[in-house]
Amino acid sequence: MKVKFYGTRGSLPVCEPGFQEFGGNTTCLQIRFEDTGRIGIIDAGTGIRKLGRDLKAAGHFQEEIVIGFSHFHWDHIQGFPFFGPAFDNNQRLRLIALGKGREISNLQDIFTFQMQGAFFPVQLDNMGAEMIFFQPNLNTYELRGTKTSAIRHNHPGGAYTYRVERYGKTFAFCTDIEHGKGIDQNVVDFCKGVDLLIHDAQFTKEELEKKRGWGHSSYDQAIQVAEMCGAKQLVMTHHDPDHDDVFLKKIEKYCQDRFKDCVLAREGMEVQV
């Protein structure tokens, strides 16, 4: 599998010159399955717009595109109304909210609401693509040889860590998580032995103290989770909109001194799993 970061920013997109290396778009991941050439997506932050454009430019078409959601805060759905394939009459989209205990009542309502006339000129029903809204009360779902699991973790309104496995390779995507006093052991167990851990790292240790209850992690906590679950590689993401490239590069050096095989996610970066 190849995981590509189309959005690395947390909370809000930023476009100032000092933010170009790590990127300004909000959360969106593309997973490419090299054996079939198919792709899957997790989260539809503003980065999904470019993802859609890249698919078109490459002439990539698959009859169904799956988009899994960690949760439905703005920065994880904001790009959806700008996702090109959603406007294609020949396209089917399967939007999935995997994991038991979801607080949302109806998945379709979230997108209908987001695109109602007061907020957006085109309504969901008029986009064009066929859309399947799939909200199984399951923690594991297998589709076309890929096993995807999700568990709930602490975040305002709830968010989910995803674990994706195919042909013996595994990665976990754990964003918008606030650990308690210690590290959430359920998350550690869930991510045991992954080849790649992608973890929220919005704050420094000091910032986290001031932002308890905001739903995020520190760099140190991301490293702790990676160490505890035995991840081979760590990528940290959901960068705070106040953290510019200079700041993030400094932090990255600090993190690499603690955990050798780690980087901070950059928009456009692709990682082999």
Q: Does 166 bind Zn ion (CB under 5 A)?
A: no
For 80-106, give one letter per residue: b (16+ CB within 10 A) or e. Answer: bbbbbbbebeebebbbbbbbeebeeee
Residue of this chain nearest to Zn ion (CB atom): 73
Binding residues with Zn ion: total (CB under 5 A) = 4
Under the phi-then-psi rule, with left for phi > 0, alpha for psi from -120 to 50, and beta for the rest, what region is 168?
left
Reported as half-sphere exposure (CB side, CA atoms, 13 A), residue 137 has a value of 5
Name the burial class of residue 237, with classes exposed (0-12), middle (13-18) and buried (19+) by CB atoms within 10 angstroms of its CB.
buried
Q: Which is nearer to Zn ion, 75 or 88 (CB)?
A: 75
Q: Does 178 bind Zn ion (CB under 5 A)?
A: no
DSSP letter for each residue of 177-241? ----SS--HHHHHHTTT-SEEEEE--B-HHHHHHTTTS---BHHHHHHHHHHHT-SEEEEE-B-T
Q: How far is the CB of 214 from Zn ion (least distance, A)?
A: 9
Q: How far is the CB of 272 from Zn ion (least distance, A)?
A: 25
Q: How far is the CB of 100 from Zn ion (least distance, A)?
A: 19
Q: Which is nearer to Zn ion, 73 or 152 (CB)?
A: 73
Q: How far is the CB of 96 from Zn ion (least distance, A)?
A: 18
Q: Does 75 bind Zn ion (CB under 5 A)?
A: yes
| Span 8-67, contacts to Zn ion by CB under 5 A | 10
Q: How far is the CB of 230 from Zn ion (least distance, A)?
A: 26
Q: Which is nearer to Zn ion, 25 or 91 (CB)?
A: 25
Q: How far is the CB of 74 from Zn ion (least distance, A)?
A: 8
What span, in angstroms and rounded, lies between the C-alpha atoms of 234 and 221? 12
Q: Which of residues 9, 49, 50, 73 is near Zn ion by CB under 5 A?
A: 73
Q: Which is nearer to Zn ion, 77 or 86 (CB)?
A: 77
- In whole angstroms, what separates CA 262 from the centre of its chain? 17
Query: Which residues contact Zn ion (rule: CB under 5 A)?
Result: 10, 73, 75, 176
